[in-house]
Amino acid sequence: MSKQHGPLADRPVNPKVGLEIPHESADLHVTGAALYTQDLLARTKDALHAWPVQAPHAHAKVVRLNVQPAHDVPGMVKVLTAADVPGLNDAGEKHDEPLFPSEVMFYGHAVCWVLGETLDAARLGAAAVEVVYETLPSLIGVREAIAAGSFQGSRRTVSRGDADTALAGAAHRFSGEFEFGGQEHFYLETMAALALVDENGQVFVQSSTQHPSETQDIVAHVLGVPAHAVTVQCLRMGGGFGGKEFQPHGLAAVAALGATLTSRPVSLRLNRTQDITMTGKRHPFLAQWEVGFDDDLRLCGLRATLTSNGGWSLDLSEPVLARALCHIDNAYWIPDIHVDGRVAKTNQQSNTAFRGFGGPQGMIVIEDILGRCAPLLGVDPQELRRRNFYSPGQRTPFGQPVRHAERLVEIWQVLNERAEVTARRREIAAYNASSPHTKRALAITPVKFGISFNLTAFNQAGGLVHVYKDGSVLINHGGAEMGQGLHTKMIQVAATALGVPLSTVRLAPTRTDKVPNTSATAASSGADLNGGAVKNACDQIRERLAVVAAGKLGIHPDDVRFVDGWATGIGFHDQRLPWATLVHDAYFQRVQLWAAGFYRTAGLHWDAERMQGEPFKYFAYGAAVSEVEVDGFTGAYRLLRADIVHDVGDSLSPLIDIGQIEGGFVQGVGWLTLEELRWDESDGPHRGRLNTQAASTYKIPSFSEMPAQFNVHLYEKATESGVVYGSKAVGEPPLMLAFSVREALRAAVGAFAPPGHSVELASPATPEAVFWAIETARAAADGTVSVPVSAIPARV
Q: Which residues are catalytic?
A: 732
| Residue 655 binds other proteins (CB under 8 A) | yes
Q: How far is the CB of 44 from other proteins (least distance, A)?
A: 12
* Choice between 39 and 564, CB closer to other proteins: 39
* Choice between 80 and 674, CB closer to other proteins: 674
Residues 232-291 within binding reach of other proteins (CB under 8 A)? 236-241, 271-273
Q: How far is the CB of 459 from other proteins (least distance, A)?
A: 25
Q: How far is the CB of 659 from other proteins (least distance, A)?
A: 5
Q: What whole-number distance in Å separates Cα of residue 305 and Cα of residue 290?
A: 9
Q: Quick count: other Cβ atoms within 10 Å of Cβ 148?
A: 13
CA 100 to chain centroid, in Å, comes to: 28
User: Using the rule CB under 8 A, which residue among 399, 772, 779, 790 binds other proteins?
Assistant: 772
Parallel, antiparallel or unpaired: strands 266-269 and 48-54: parallel
Q: What whole-number distance in Å separates Cα of residue 481 and Cα of residue 751?
A: 44
* Choice between 63 and 695, CB closer to other proteins: 695
Q: How far is the CB of 360 from other proteins (least distance, A)?
A: 16
Residues 158-217 within binding reach of other proteins (CB under 8 A)? 185-190
Residues 101-160 within binding reach of other proteins (CB under 8 A)? 123
| Residue 768 binds other proteins (CB under 8 A) | yes
Stretch that binds other proteins, among 104-112, 536-544, 552-560, 694-702 (CB under 8 A): 694-702
* Choice between 555 and 674, CB closer to other proteins: 674
Q: Quick count: other Cβ atoms within 10 Å of Cβ 558?
A: 9
* Choice between 103 and 705, CB closer to other proteins: 705
Q: How far is the CB of 523 from other proteins (least distance, A)?
A: 18
| Residue 784 binds other proteins (CB under 8 A) | no
Query: 742: closest CA among 628, 590, 656?
Result: 628
Hey, is 584 helix, strand or coil? helix
C-alpha distance from residue 684 to each of 58, 135, 688 (Å): 11, 13, 9
Query: 463: closest CA among 498, 438, 412?
Result: 498
Residues 448-487 within binding reach of other proteins (CB under 8 A)? 482-485
Burial of 157 (0-12, 13-18, 19+ CB in 10 A): middle
Sign of CA dihedral 316, 322, 325, 331: negative
Helix ranges, 645-752 (H): 654-669, 739-750
User: Using the rule CB under 8 A, which residue among 202, 581, 692, 719 binds other proteins?
Assistant: 692
| Residue 739 binds other proteins (CB under 8 A) | no
Applying CB under 8 A, the site for other proteins has a residue count of 85
* Choice between 355 and 448, CB closer to other proteins: 355
Q: Which residues pair with 15 in a beta bridge?
A: none
Whether the Cβ atoms of residue 637 and residue 704 lie closer than 8 Å to each other: no
Stretch that binds other proteins, among 255-263, 432-440, 536-544, 610-618 (CB under 8 A): 432-440
| Residue 705 binds other proteins (CB under 8 A) | yes
| Residue 709 binds other proteins (CB under 8 A) | yes
Residue 136 parent element (H or E): none
Burial of 598 (0-12, 13-18, 19+ CB in 10 A): middle
Binding string, residues 610-639; x marks residues near other proteins by CB under 8 A: -------------------xxx-xx-xxx-
Strands of 97-142, DSSP E: 103-104, 110-116, 130-135
Q: What whole-number distance in Å separates Cα of residue 754 and Cα of residue 437?
A: 15
Q: How far is the CB of 768 from other proteins (least distance, A)?
A: 5
| Residue 694 binds other proteins (CB under 8 A) | yes
* Choice between 252 and 428, CB closer to other proteins: 428
Burial of 702 (0-12, 13-18, 19+ CB in 10 A): exposed
| Residue 663 binds other proteins (CB under 8 A) | yes
Q: How far is the CB of 772 from other proteins (least distance, A)?
A: 8
| Residue 766 binds other proteins (CB under 8 A) | yes
* Choice between 592 and 634, CB closer to other proteins: 634
Whether the Cβ atoms of residue 160 and residue 400 lie closer than 8 Å to each other: no
| Residue 424 binds other proteins (CB under 8 A) | no
Phi-psi group of 737: left, alpha or beta (phi > 0 → left; psi -120 to 50 → alpha; rest → beta)? alpha
* Choice between 113 and 333, CB closer to other proteins: 113
User: Using the rule CB under 8 A, which residue among 678, 685, 754, 782 binds other proteins?
Assistant: 678
Residues 2-31 within binding reach of other proteins (CB under 8 A)? 22-23, 25-31
Whether the Cβ atoms of residue 761 and residue 770 lie closer than 8 Å to each other: yes
Residues 32-51 within binding reach of other proteins (CB under 8 A)? 32-36, 38-39, 42
